[in-house]
Structure 1
Amino acid sequence: MKLNAGIVTEKLNETKEFYTKKLGFGISFQNDFYLLMHTPDGSSEISFLKPNHPSQEPIFQSPHNGKGVYLTIEVDDVDKVYSQLKNKNIAMEIELRDEPWGDRHFAIVDPNGIGIDFVTYTKTEE
């Protein structure tokens, strides 16, 4: 089983620009109403769909309202990714920090209002 999260958004062009230019994602497929992107290593995908497209059933027509969705991207070196994104002048929603449960992470927001949490997991003492 493979999961591909999808977001219905009016901001297809802004989303494409953000994920490719800022985060290094690639394009797996696109047409005038659908965009399928993959992470830089190709291990995961996310899709974006224009709302109210006549080819889609009602369940896939309503646009995302900008709240209640987040993505977590696990990376090997969160400090390196943090520095790279800071150098691209991407605003940080949560600055780089360590959590008591072992995460080292920071968060940004995409053009659709989706929080993106970049994290490196560390083993905690049991």
Structure 2
Amino acid sequence: MNITATTVSLTVDDVIASRDFLVTHLGYQEKAAADGFASLSRGEAAVDVVLLRRGIEVLPEDQRDQRASGLILAFTVSDLAGVLSRLESEGVAVTMPLREEPWGERLFQVTDPNGVVIQFVEWVTPAAG
């Protein structure tokens, strides 16, 4: 098997709201769009994102009414403090404040207009205990 790309597909109520959030605050670019659909990419190591409007008929019938929930879209970044500062200056509400876990994970979370949780992570050397 040769995996050539990774894409996460999220079913949301308002495709435009999530698209605008990802484009404005995370630097994604729209690659394709149609009614109830948007395909986004950053052109780097970040995962591509496809947004589908809940209820859209291209989904199998048993998936149409589901929403993206219980999912955390996590991005590992190299300047966590800088990302946090920029997002706050852009008016993005931080929904889980910056914290550091004992195993060396520093992280914070924001939530897009459709309730999609987006986590930013930076790995550091854990403090000696």
The interval holding the TM-score normalised by the smaller chain is 0.7 to 0.9
In structure 2, the residue matched to 1:87 is 89
In structure 2, the residue matched to 1:52 is 55
Give, as a single letter, the amino acid of the residue that structure 1 aligns with 2:80. V
Q: Which runs of 5 or more structure 1 residues have no equivalent in the other structure?
A: none
Contact residue 37 and residue 50 of structure 2 kept, 8 A:
yes
* Mapped partners of 1:55, 1:115: distance in 2: 24
What is the aligned-residue identity percentage? 22
The CA deviation string for residues 54-79 of structure 1, in whole angstroms up to 9 with x for no partner, is 33321441230x63111111101101
In structure 2, the residue matched to 1:114 is 116
Cα displacement (A) at 1:108: 0.5
State the TM-score, normalizing by the size of structure 1: 0.86
Q: Displaced runs of 4+ in structure 1, greater than 6 A? A: none
* Mapped partners of 1:74, 1:59: distance in 2: 33
Equivalent pairs counted in the alignment come to 125
* Mapped partners of 2:106, 2:45: distance in 1: 23
Cα displacement (A) at 1:45: 0.4
Q: How does 1:1-126 map to 2 (within 5 A)?
A: 1=3, 2-39=5-42, 41=44, 43-64=46-67, 67-124=69-126
* Mapped partners of 2:122, 2:35: distance in 1: 35
Contact residue 24 and residue 40 of structure 1 kept, 8 A:
no
Q: Which runs of 5 or more structure 2 residues have no equivalent in the other structure?
A: none
Alignment RMSD (CA, Å)? 2.1
The CA deviation string for residues 86-114 of structure 1, in whole angstroms up to 9 with x for no partner, is 10111111112221110111111111212
Cα displacement (A) at 1:50: 1.4
